Amino acid sequence: MAEFVEVHVTVPDRDAAERIADVVVGERLAAAAQLVAPITSVYWWRGEINRAEEWLLFMKTTAGRFDELAAAIRELHPYEVPQIIAVPLVAGTADYLEWIRRETSPEPGA
């Protein structure tokens, strides 16, 4: 896996999105979280096709922090099986990637 990842999570509403974003950024599990306005999701669940309005979070972190980030999201998430996926960042500007590394360090300023 790449050193840096963007984690995608869908949630049922803005409150859930803000709660998760505040906690994971506050705990330095993600350097940043962006909340995307309502989206429409179409998906299979328990043998039926469903449609729901959801919110989408994009979170930037290091691959090394993914497991901790996923655990925190799962703890806060209202869904039985939340979408928590990591997409590798294959390139980025050196200063931005260094910022992600610094802001997700368990020891600030490290």
Residue 64 belongs to what H/E stretch? Answer: none
| pLDDT value, residue 1 | 67
Dihedral sign from CA coordinates of 20, 24, 27, 31: negative
Q: What are the residues whose beta carbons fall under 8 Å from the beta carbon of 77, sequence distance 6 or more?
A: 9, 11, 16, 20, 84
8 falls in which pLDDT band (50, 70, 90)? very high
Residue 110 belongs to what H/E stretch? Answer: none
| pLDDT value, residue 107 | 76
Domains and CATH numbers, the chain: 4-103 (3.30.70.120)
Q: What is the Cα–Cα distance from 9 to 66, expressed in whole angstroms?
A: 13
Average pLDDT over residues 101-105: 96
Single pTM value for the model:
0.93
Q: What is the Cα–Cα distance from 43 to 45, expressed in whole angstroms?
A: 6
